[in-house]
Each structure stands twice: as structure tokens, then as C-alpha cells.
Chain A
Amino acid sequence: MIQAIADGLSTGAIIALGAMGVTLVMGILRFTNFAHAEYLTWGGYMALFVLSATGLEAGSLGPFSLGPGLILAMLVAMVLTVALALIADRLVFHRLRGKVNHITLVFASFGVALIVRYVIHLLFGGSAQYYSNDLRFAWRIGDLASVMPDQVLVFVVTLVVAGGLYTFLRYSALGLAMRAAAENPALSAINGVRFRTILLVTWTIGGALAAMSGVFYGVTVQLRPDVGFQLLLPIFAAAILGGIGNVVGALAGGFIVALVEAVALLWIPSGYKLAIPFIVLLLVLWLRPTGLFRGTSGGAK
């Protein structure tokens, strides 16, 4: 059980990073972007691309795999993922926004997701890849469990990032403008809030978090072109569970989904793994349709 909880917290951090981006886009830009999970995969592979293109070693930092080389590659991957998100918005979503209904936008995002997934497949192949082949030793928690140092690092970094994002939204002028635009775009424009700025910042945050999540997945698991597809459902379940637009809710939602999944797998066959986030999502929608942390139809907290 302790081992399942430890694994759940690590996976939950990765899901939470994706869910925080999804929830911001859903809350502020008011559309469900199913391509978001593919941005995670893109981010993970872009870091791999930077390492192979520059010949940099991923390196290590004490017991952690996230060495200077991989940190640099991750930063570049974050920029490239933000660029992908902005290009997809400019070429697809921007042309449709305000002119078509919500469902059309959702289907357009499915299209973008498929394009991104198969471009990755084409460029990097379908087999699993790793940033480093170095062996790392697990930390033992008595006789109860063993955790990889990278899992602990991912968990801690995610908490710090979530805290930073919450502080930004809660206390900064730009964060206030984002929350206002999320609730009422027309009224925020009347107050001088520029939608283009909000759009840019939202995609920047969402893209950067997605890349970070993808790199963390590559560090703690492996890189495969279907990573986004595997994480899509847990990420959306976490975002909805936490309440749309609620960053802290998405963080908690990520951990809840992953913990339920990890603990449930102690009793049920792993083949049913993908069904678990669905069940959690259905339960929450049944009991609290606005999410556990009071989300909104449009909003950001």
C-alpha cells in the first residue's frame, strides 16, 4: 500500500502539471483542448531532440537524473512547446474562435492532437526512448517501499510550481486580469484587459507546464509517442475533478486520480488501469458537477 501511494504521488505530480495547464485553458479560453496531452509528448521529445542535436549529456545532480544538460534541454523544450501551442492556436483555434460552436473547436483540437502525435511518431519512431541509460538506485523507506529519487524530485518541483502559479494568479496584476478575463471577457475588455495578452500568457503557462510534465514522464518512466494518449484521460479527469479553472484543484485532482489508480491496481488487473480515471470522473460529476473545489463555467483561481 505504501509503495502504491509513493508511486501514485509521483504519477500524480505529472498528471497535475498537465491538468493545471488544461484547467487554465478551459477556464480562461473556454475550450476543451484535447491536443494538450500531446503537448506533453511534444515537450518530452523536444528535450530529447535538444540533447541529441547538441550532443549534451542529460547528466545528473546528486541522486537525481535531472542534470544540467537535461534541465537546459527541458527549458528549450518548454519554449518549443509554447511555440507549438501558439502556432496551433494561430493556425486552427484562432480562426474558429467566436465563429463556430464549442463542439467544432473540440473536434479541431482532436485533429491537432492526431497531427502532433503522428509527427512525433514520424520524427522519433515508435519505440520507447530514454534521456539517459545510467542506472539510479532507489531510496528505501524502511521495509515499506522504495522510491526513485527522481520521483521525489518531480513531486517537490510540482508542488513548488503549483504554489508559484497560484501566487501569480492570486496576487499579480496580470493574474488578476486573467481571472477577470476568465469570468467575463467583455467586462474585462471594458476595463482595459487585452485578450491577446491573456491568450499569450495562458498558452505560455499551459505549454511550459505540459513540456515540464512530458520531461518528468520521460525521466521517471520513458518516452513513447503515445504518452499523451495514455495521459489524456487522467489529465482531464484531474482538471474536472478539481473544478474548471482551479489550479489548486487541478493539483489535488492529479494526485487523487493517480492515487486511486495506483491503489486500485493492488486489487484489479492492470488492463483496467485506463478505466479508473473514468470511474473517478463519473463519480465526481455525479456527486459534485462543478468539481471538488468549486470550479466555474469560466474562471481561473
Chain B
Amino acid sequence: MTPVLEMRGVVGGYVPDLPILHGVTLHVNRGEFVTIIGPNGAGKSTAMKAVAGLVRISDGQVLVDGEEFTNHPTEDMADLGLAFVPQTSNIFGTLTIADNLRLGARSLTKAVAAERIEAAYARFPILRELSRSLAGGLSGGQRQMLAVARALLSAPRIIMLDEPSAGLAPNIVQEVFGLLRGLADEGVAVLMVEQNAKSAMRVSDRTYVLAEGRSRIDGTSEQMLNDPEVKSIYLGDAGRKRT
């Protein structure tokens, strides 16, 4: 099966000759929920930005459904079925919620846009209630809902999310992860960077560990949750006293 998204030995960074990624290799299949974990500065967010064309790739390849996507213009992402929800500033705070959704549906015909926006409101009823309010006034959880709702309007083949749980209350985190699990079950490929590693691994199918800009370990999330090295180094279990 050809993966929906594949990174092959990707090297790149924000500044030429100063790479942050030193060889990231990973893939996500259709309907699969994949998590990337790793310490701060490992290059997790940068890897996603590299796929999105926001970081220059100097070596390696990004393939989408087997086709070349390396250093593709960011503007083409949505039309090619890739959605990306950055960690911060992932909504337009000065626009209304309705306008945020209109923007996500801008490449669609009017009828399809109306249908998908209606589906987004059905999935997230709070957004319908607040549709005329400025998105800048939303709570953290509501912002994530709007960001995900807008990303889904283009019916993407893959959705990438950079730390969607950041700043959210635990019950909201479970809600967001549940939503992403549901998307994967519907056939969307989900790639998520998370600091909240254990919770993320519990809902995802596979996990990659990135360290110092390289893919270090990967496997099914279940295996990884029980891997002694992953547990001790990346899940914070080392030296913890049992009570």
C-alpha cells in the first residue's frame, strides 16, 4: 500500500546550512493515526512545517500518495488534500468564526462549501452558536475545534496537527483526541505531534520518536508504550517512585 504521506531522510531547517532535521523518515497510511513524540528541540514541529513547505528541505524527499511533494508551495497544500493545524496562531482571531470557515472552504463550489460548513456546525454545535463572534474570543478548546473544523472543510487526505492538546484542560484533550481517532476511522490519515505523549499514544495506531532531528524509534503505539527505552527516556517514567 502506498502511504498517503512519506518522509524519506528529510534534512532541512529555517536557515541554510543550519539544519534542524538531520534525516526524518516516517510514513502515514490511509486511515492511520500516527503520533510523533520526542524531547523539546527534537524537530517535531519543524518536520511538519517541512511537509507544509514552511521550512526548506535541503535533502531527502516528501511524497504524497507516492508523488513528489518536496518543497511544494504551501499555498497548494489545501488543493492537494493536505491540511495542517499549527500549534499556535491556528485560527484567524480578527475574523468571525463563520469567516474562518468560509476561508477554509474558499476553493470549493458554493453548494459544496455550504454543505461542508453545515457538516462542520453539526460536528461542533458550539461553533454554530458563536458563528458571528470573533474567533479571537474563543476558549482554547473552542479554538482547536475551529482550527480542526476549518482544516477538514477541504476534505483532506491527511491532516497534520502540531500539539493540539497544548493549553487544553484534560477533558478537552480527550475530546480532541477522540475526534482525531474518529477522523482516522473515517479514512483520513492523521499525523500528530504531541508532548502529551502517553495520552496521544493511547489513541494512535503508531508512534515515531524523534530526537536531535532524526527518527530514532518507531512501532505500534501499544509496543512503544511498553518499550522500556521509550518509557524511561521519553515518557518520563525513569526514576519515578511507585506509591
Chain A interface residues (CB < 8 Å from chain B) = 173, 176-177, 179-180, 183-184, 186-195, 296, 299, 301
Contacts and interface: CB of A to CB of B under 8 A. Distances in A.
B62 to A, nearest CB: 15
B84 interface: yes
Contact of B94 (A177, A179, A186, A193): A179
B182 to A, nearest CB: 22
Contacts of B89: 184, 186-187
A193 B75 contact: yes
B95 interface: yes
Interface string B157-177: 000000000000000000000
A167 to B, nearest CB: 15
Given A176-B95, A187-B89, A192-B106, 10 more contacts: A173-B106, A176-B103, A176-B106, A179-B92, A186-B54, A189-B73, A189-B74, A190-B52, A192-B107, A193-B75
B75 A189 contact: yes
Contacts of A179: 92, 94-95, 99
Q: Top 5 nearest A-B pairs by Cβ distance?
A: A192-B78, A189-B74, A194-B75, A189-B75, A183-B94
A188 B73 CA distance: 12
Question: Which of A180, A184, A192 gathers the greatest number of chain B CB atoms within 10 Å?
Answer: A192
B206 interface: no
27 contacts: A173-B106, A176-B95, A176-B103, A176-B106, A177-B103, A179-B95, A179-B99, A180-B95, A180-B103, A183-B93, A183-B95, A184-B89, A184-B92, A187-B90, A188-B103, A189-B73, A189-B75, A190-B52, A190-B78, A191-B78, A191-B103, A191-B106, A191-B150, A192-B79, A193-B103, A193-B106, A194-B75
Nearest to B52: A190
B43 interface: no
Nearest to B136: A183
Contacts of B225: none
A192 B75 contact: yes
Main SS of the interface on chain A?
helix
Nearest to A298: B94
Contacts of B74: 186, 189-190
Given A173-B106, A177-B106, A190 B93 contact: no
Nearest to B80: A192
A190 B107 CA distance: 12
Nearest to B54: A186
A177 B138 CA distance: 21
Interface string B21-62: 000000000000000000000000000000010100000000
B102 to A, nearest CB: 6
A183 B104 CA distance: 15
B9 interface: no
Contacts of B78: 190-192
A194 B94 CA distance: 19
A185 to B, nearest CB: 10
A247 to B, nearest CB: 14
B86 A186 contact: yes
A294 to B, nearest CB: 10
Contacts of A188: 92, 103
A190 B49 CA distance: 10
A199 to B, nearest CB: 12
B72 to A, nearest CB: 11
B84 A190 contact: yes
Interface string B135-170: 000000000000000100010000000000000000
Contact of A191 (B54, B73, B93, B104): B104
Question: Which of B92, B95, B154 gathers the greatest number of chain A CB atoms within 10 Å?
Answer: B92
Contacts of B93: 183
Nearest to A189: B74
A180 B89 CA distance: 12
Contacts of A194: 75
B77 interface: yes
A173 B110 CA distance: 11
B143 to A, nearest CB: 12
Contacts of B107: 192
A176 B100 CA distance: 9
A195 B54 CA distance: 14
B77 A180 contact: no
A200 B91 CA distance: 24
Contacts of A184: 89, 92
A195 B75 contact: yes
A173 B99 CA distance: 10
Contact of A176 (B52, B79, B99): B99
Contacts of B52: 190
A180 B96 CA distance: 11
A183 B83 CA distance: 19
A180 B92 contact: yes
